[in-house]
Amino acid sequence: MVPKAATFPSGIKALADFVHSKGLKLGIYSDAGIQTCSKTMPGSLGHEEHDAKTFAMWGIDYLKYDNCENTGTSAKERYPVMNKALQNSGRKIFFSLCEWGQEDPATWAPAIGNSWRTTDDIQDNWDSMISRADMNDKWASYAGPGGWNDPDMLEVGNGGMSMEEYRCHFSIWALAKAPLILGCDIRSMDNDTYSLVTNKEVIAVNQDKLGVQGKKVKNGDLEVWAGPLSGNRVAVVLINRGTSKATVTAQWSDIGLDSSAIVDARDLWEHSTSASVKNELSATLDSHACKMYVLTPH
């Protein structure tokens, strides 16, 4: 692989140095096949050692490794080869496996990579987003520090959903400890989108040091998602998946709290706190709207 001169006249190493000077990291894309999904660029199949060393020399920090043009060989055979090559490259590179959840990677990828796609590609609409959340949820117990389930990138800001729907999207991904990778063009991001994706309280749930993936604890149109956080706290998302306004309720027993618990409930989107809440948490929500809380027991 060589940099495309017209696009990267100074080379990838110079680009990486510039990105690092801004306090950021640089990711790159390749494929566990003979070509990438564009079918115009070479994949890394059969060239893993050479390509991994090239990425390391360039100063790459993150590799998304796709699954197109894969010659029909099992992902369980192809992806470990790149893992070994990255280990031998001399640089710490985050390894993001993307075989679209075809061979249940949550059951084997934790030994190989740092994240693994649990779903096929997401699209910028409610049905696609919420179904990816459902697909990802079944693998919650396999995630943890060092290795994460990935239900695909965030569509927030691309225009196909309402801001309420995007708020649900961001809330579930944060609770599920999914990689928060923006899929919109940040150069043209509007103020509402910027405010949503920079909510530090929601991001803090995603980055919580306990590293336990939150999951769905109450099914149906009036849905509850929850998971433990460090400091004996609990993160909760209430979602109205139905078509009309309704009240969603989380009982303490639904979310792992003792029935006698008294909590302070911090609303992460409103940045407000309700003190001394007992027994349950309720919110009346429009269709496809949500609330996200962190509960701190007294």
Which positions are catalytic? 66, 121
What is the tally of helices (H) and strands (E) in the chain? Answer: 7, 13
- Residue 26, both tokens: 């640089």
Vertex 209, ends 203 and 214: CA angle to 5°?
Answer: 65
What share of residues in the chain are helix, strand, coil (percent, to 5)? Answer: 30, 25, 45
Cβ of 194: how many Cβ atoms within 10 Å? 11
CA–CA gap between residue 13 and residue 101 (Å, rounded): 32
Collapse the DSSP code of 70 into the 3-class scheme (helix H, G, I; strand E, B; otherwise coil) and give the result: coil
For 214-244, give one letter per residue: b (16+ CB within 10 A) or e: bbbbbeeebbbbbbebeeebbbbbbbbbbee
CA–CA gap between residue 256 and residue 242 (Å, rounded): 25
- Residue 152 backbone dihedrals phi, psi, to 5 degrees: 90, 170
